[in-house]
Structure 1
Amino acid sequence: MITVPLSALEVATVQEGARAADTLRDTTEFARRLEGLGYLRLWYAEHHHSPAIGAFPPVVLTAHAAALTSSIRLGSGGVLAPHHAPIMLAEQFGTLAALHGGRIDLGIGRGPGTFDEATARALRRGAGPATDDEYRSDVSATLRHLVDEVVLDPLPEPWLLSSSTAGAALAAELGLPIAFAHHIRPDNTLAALDHYREHFSPSRWCERPRILICVETICADTQREADRLAGPMNVVKAALLKGRGDIAFPTPEQAAAHSFTDEEARALAGFRAQQAYGSPESVDKRLTELVGATGADELMLVTPVYEFAARLKSYELVQQHIAVPTAS
């Protein structure tokens, strides 16, 4: 049985035939309901130029949700450092932390957050992808500005997002808690976390290695229903495997009629085996296995399903059937 706190990642999917405004309305209700269910934190991801995912700035969604809630931690999962001036990130999230009782997290990632090259260049004002040195400099500068320029208290809690050993190495070097994207690069998880623990250097931000892993989790009354709910994201993932980010988020019925190649079907099955889909009992078993294998201090669940009610029910079932400790 799960013995670590559970949190949630909001990727703000825009369903086929819906408006982005409908997704924004749902994010408001989602934050309120997650707080009522007792989840520890809710983070917002940064994406751009995708018909399946809304381009809603994490800082704006964080501010909006913080004004409507009182206890759940909120923040970015993450803001993509190469797209933003470090001092602005420090000022924005520092202000939010001061306004909302220190329950704000600043999760920083690398990106690019889009599969469209023109959009990526626009976000970088014409520059190409950030180099490793540029990214390290951006993250370090953001942390420095939090301390030296943001004369507010309390400060936001910084996290480094990673899906690779390189990202884990940077988190260890800077002494930051790590949020690992197991839902994106599950094959990298164990090696990256081993490196993080072995090379971690304590800092003012974190005294010891601290690990959150994000897991794609679809919990339903039955395995069959969980598989049905997973269908739309499978279609999107099959497109992403080809480097395409121009696919709308289909309905479950459209997904059921979609034909996958043998290669796509194998890749999707391999990915699914490393996430947590199914009934509450099977989801509990899988999440417990992941905590045991990774030594994670916290799990963050991302549930990309078509219907808002079904997505919320997944989080409710996890809360009802899986032990969720209160935040320390």
Structure 2
Amino acid sequence: MITVPFSALEVAMVQKGTSAADTLHDTTEFARRIEELGYLRLWYAEHHHSPAIGAFPPVVLTAHAAASTSAIRLGSGGVLAPNHAPIMLAEQFGTLAALHSGRIDLGIGRGPGTFDESTARALRRGAGPTTDDEYRNDVSAILRFLVEETALGPLPEPWLLSSSTAGAALAAELGLPIALAHHIRPDNTLAALHHYREHFSPSRWCARPRVLICVETVCAETQEAAARLAGPMDVVKAGLLKGRGDFPFPTPEEAAAHPFTAEERQALAGFRAHQAHGSPDIVAKRLVDLVSATQADELMLVTPVYALADRLRSYELVEQHIMTPTAT
């Protein structure tokens, strides 16, 4: 059993053979069930121009889920600051926080949310990749506008998303809680955490270092079943290893027949070694080890598997075998 709170990340995979509308329907059912299971918060990620992941704005999904649930915390994980005007993000999430007091998070990230260069430029009105200084200014402006411009009452809780030491340094400087993307760049986690804790400056947002670790978690009754469920995302990751984001999200049967190269299999196995895939006992050990190594204050699970029922079953197994009542 693990006593830190558990949360969930929704990446809204558009399954092959279904529509984006089907995915949106699933996100509503998912939010309701995750709340029933006692997860602390549910975040939505920003993605664009991908056949595998829906281009659904986190602020819209947050608003819809907040109206469909009653207690779970909701927000972005993350909304990508370079793609938006800081004042608009402050107004949008400030409004949500006023409508749903004590339930709204504003997780801020940096990446483009796409592998397509023309899409990235369109999102930024023709501008190129943001610089470190521009990103810092954007995050600082969002925080300032939250306080100065919204004036609607309760504020959203800001988090900085990071997968690097540079992002951890900014979170420490601004005194923000940090959400580390262990599910994307696990090799960076410990170094980023060390820097964050060593250099943290208290702020109005956070009095002490506060760490959320996001880990890919696929839990099933058996190790073999979990491996089968993880197969479709392995196909997508194999494409990402080549710098391509145009792979659709296949069925488990299609994934099982996918011709991975030896190099891809090695890279995928290395990635899985840092995540939590398997039966409940194996997943429990992986998560216990991760909390022990990172001293995380919270775990966020991302479970990119094909069918909603299988995805929810993974979260149910974690709730039944790994979470404790004090974590909910």
How far the C-alpha of 1:219 sits from its partner, in A, is 0.3
Corresponding residue number in structure 1 for 2:158: 158
Corresponding residue number in structure 1 for 2:196: 196
Question: Residues 70-89 of structure 1 correspond to what in structure 2 (within 5 A)?
Answer: 70-89=70-89
Corresponding residue number in structure 1 for 2:106: 106
Contact 2:6 2:327 in 1 (8 A): no
CA distance in 2, matches of 1:235, 1:80: 25
CA distance in 2, matches of 1:102, 1:276: 30
CA distance in 1, matches of 2:2, 2:223: 20
Corresponding residue number in structure 1 for 2:234: 234
Please list every run of at least 4 consecutive aligned residues from structure 1 whose deviation after the TM superposition is greater than 6 angstroms.
none
SS at match of 2:74: strand
Contact 1:76 1:105 in 2 (8 A): yes
CA distance in 2, matches of 1:91, 1:316: 35
Q: How many residues are matched?
A: 328
Corresponding residue number in structure 2 for 1:275: 275
SS at match of 2:289: helix
| Residue 11 (structure 1) aligned with residue 8 (structure 2) | no
CA distance in 2, matches of 1:173, 1:323: 32
Corresponding residue number in structure 2 for 1:294: 294
Q: Deviations over 1:2-33 (max 9, x none)?
A: 12000000000000111000000000000000
Corresponding residue number in structure 1 for 2:25: 25
CA distance in 2, matches of 1:323, 1:186: 22
SS at match of 1:149: helix
CA distance in 2, matches of 1:309, 1:300: 19
Corresponding residue number in structure 1 for 2:44: 44
Contact 1:14 1:52 in 2 (8 A): yes
Q: Which amino acid aligns with 1:13?
A: M
CA distance in 2, matches of 1:223, 1:304: 16
CA distance in 2, matches of 1:324, 1:161: 26
Mark the runs of 5 or more structure 1 residues left unpaired by the alignment: none
Question: Residues 173-188 of structure 1 correspond to what in structure 2 (within 5 A)?
Answer: 173-188=173-188
Contact 1:232 1:306 in 2 (8 A): yes
Contact 1:8 1:41 in 2 (8 A): yes
How far the C-alpha of 1:325 sits from its partner, in A, is 4.3
Contact 2:229 2:252 in 1 (8 A): yes
How far the C-alpha of 1:327 sits from its partner, in A, is 6.0
CA distance in 1, matches of 2:150, 2:323: 38
Contact 1:6 1:324 in 2 (8 A): no
| Residue 221 (structure 1) aligned with residue 221 (structure 2) | yes
How far the C-alpha of 1:84 sits from its partner, in A, is 0.5
RMSD: 0.8
CA distance in 1, matches of 2:308, 2:22: 10
Corresponding residue number in structure 1 for 2:256: 256
Identity of aligned residues (%): 83
Corresponding residue number in structure 2 for 1:137: 137
CA distance in 1, matches of 2:33, 2:16: 24
TM-score, length-scaled by structure 1: 0.99
Q: Deviations over 1:29-60 (max 9, x none)?
A: 00000000000000000000000000000000
Corresponding residue number in structure 1 for 2:208: 208
Contact 2:6 2:323 in 1 (8 A): no
CA distance in 1, matches of 2:52, 2:276: 22
Corresponding residue number in structure 1 for 2:96: 96
Q: Which amino acid aligns with 1:154?
A: P
Q: Which amino acid aligns with 1:47?
A: H
How far the C-alpha of 1:326 sits from its partner, in A, is 4.3
Contact 1:4 1:325 in 2 (8 A): no
SS at match of 1:247: coil
CA distance in 2, matches of 1:192, 1:80: 20
CA distance in 2, matches of 1:319, 1:96: 28
Q: Which amino acid aligns with 2:257?
A: A
Q: Which amino acid aligns with 1:254?
A: E
CA distance in 2, matches of 1:326, 1:91: 34
TM-score, length-scaled by structure 2: 0.99
